Amino acid sequence: MDIDKLFSRGKELGIEEMEVYMAEKCSTKFKVYKGELENYNLSKEEVLSLRGIHNGKMGYSYTERLADDSIDDLLFNLIQYAECNEREHTEKLSAPVEIKRKSRINRLKLYEEDRKIAFLKSIEELAYSMDERVYLVEDCDYEEYERSIYIKNTKGLELKDSYGAGIINLSVVAKNGEDTQTGYIHRVIDDLSQEYKNDLINEAVRDAINMLDACSIPSGDYKIILRNNVAANLFSTMCPVFLADVIQENLSLMKGKVGKKVGSDLLDIIEDPLMDKGFSYRTFDDEGTPTFTKYIVKNGVLKTVLHNNKTAEKEGVNSTGNGFRISHKSSIGVLPINMYIEKGSYSLEEMIMSLEKGLLITDIQGLHAGINTISGDFSLYSNGFLIEHGKVIKPVNQITIAGNFYDMIKEIQALGDDVRFSTPGIYYFGSPSMMIDRLTVSGN
- Tell me what pLDDT residue 35 has: 92
**Which of 187, 206, 225 is the last residue in one of the domains?**
206
Task: For the chain, state the CA radius of gyration.
Answer: 24
pLDDT (tens digit per residue) in 102-142: 777 778 888 999 999 999 999 999 999 999 999 999 999 99
Whether residue 156 sits in one domain with residue 11: yes
* Burial class for 156, CB neighbours closer than 10 Å (0-12, 13-18, 19+): exposed
Whether residue 224 sits in one domain with residue 120: no
Whether residue 228 sits in one domain with residue 186: no
- Tell me what pLDDT residue 425 has: 82
Q: What φ, ψ does residue 257 adopt, rounded to 5°?
A: -100, 0
- C-alpha–C-alpha distance, residues 353 and 143, integer Å: 38
317 contacts 289 by C-beta, under 8 angstroms: no
Sheet (strand 36-54) strand order:
57-63, 36-54, 15-33, 134-153, 158-176, 179-189
User: Is 50 among the domain residues?
Assistant: yes
User: Which CA distances in Å does 93 have to 7, 11, 310, 330?
Assistant: 14, 15, 10, 16
- C-alpha–C-alpha distance, residues 175 and 320, integer Å: 49
Sheet (strand 429-431) strand order:
301-302, 294-298, 269-271, 339-341, 429-431, 420-421
User: For residue 52, how far is the Cα from the chain centroid?
Assistant: 29
- Tell me what pLDDT residue 141 has: 95
User: Which CA distances in Å does 55 have to 77, 80, 81, 216, 353?
Assistant: 14, 11, 11, 63, 66
Residue 89, pLDDT above cutoff 80: no
Element (H, E) at 40: strand 36-54
Whether residue 11 sits in one domain with residue 159: yes
What residues are paired with 154 via a beta bridge? none
- Tell me what pLDDT residue 329 has: 86
Percent of residues in the chain assigned helix, strand, coil, to nearest 5: 25, 40, 35
159-169 mean pLDDT: 91
User: Is 104 among the domain residues?
Assistant: yes
The alpha carbon torsion through 404, 407, 413, 415 (nearest 10 deg) reads 60
Number of domains the chain contains: 2
Identify the three-state secondary structure at position 216: coil
Whether residue 186 sits in one domain with residue 103: yes
Amino acid at 410: K
Q: Which domain holds residue 51?
A: 3-206
User: Is 137 among the domain residues?
Assistant: yes
User: Is 152 among the domain residues?
Assistant: yes
Confidence band of 369 (pLDDT split at 50, 70, 90):
confident
Residue 444, pLDDT above cutoff 90: no
Task: Give the chain's mean pLDDT.
Answer: 93
241 contacts 425 by C-beta, under 8 angstroms: no
Share of the chain above pLDDT 90, in %: 82
- C-alpha–C-alpha distance, residues 271 and 245, integer Å: 17
Residue 6, pLDDT above cutoff 90: yes
User: Is 294 among the domain residues?
Assistant: no
DSSP conformational letter for 90: P
169-186 mean pLDDT: 93
User: Is 370 among the domain residues?
Assistant: yes
Count of all residues that appear for the chain in the document: 444
Whether residue 353 sits in one domain with residue 219: yes
User: Is 134 among the domain residues?
Assistant: yes
- Tell me what pLDDT residue 351 has: 96
Q: Which residues contact 165 (CB under 8 A, 6 or more apart)?
A: 106, 108, 144, 145, 188, 189, 190, 277, 278, 279
- Tell me what pLDDT residue 348 has: 95
- Tell me what pLDDT residue 342 has: 97
pLDDT (tens digit per residue) in 205-223: 999 999 999 999 999 999 9
User: Is 302 among the domain residues?
Assistant: no
CATH number at residue 148: 3.30.2290.10
Whether residue 217 sits in one domain with residue 201: no
- Tell me what pLDDT residue 291 has: 95
pLDDT (tens digit per residue) in 29-68: 999 999 999 889 999 999 999 999 998 899 999 999 888 8
- Tell me what pLDDT residue 208 has: 94
pLDDT (tens digit per residue) in 383-428: 999 999 999 999 999 999 999 999 999 999 999 999 999 988 889 9
Identify the three-state secondary structure at position 34: coil
291 contacts 149 by C-beta, under 8 angstroms: no
- C-alpha–C-alpha distance, residues 344 and 195, integer Å: 22
Confidence band of 193 (pLDDT split at 50, 70, 90):
confident
Residue 88, pLDDT above cutoff 80: no
What residues are paired with 69 via a beta bridge? none
Whether residue 95 sits in one domain with residue 220: no
311 contacts 279 by C-beta, under 8 angstroms: no
Whether residue 219 sits in one domain with residue 167: no
Whether residue 226 sits in one domain with residue 151: no
Whether residue 145 sits in one domain with residue 126: yes
Whether residue 227 sits in one domain with residue 130: no
pLDDT (tens digit per residue) in 370-383: 899 999 999 999 99
Q: What is the pTM of this model?
A: 0.92
Closest to 375 in 3D by CA, of 267, 238, 233: 238
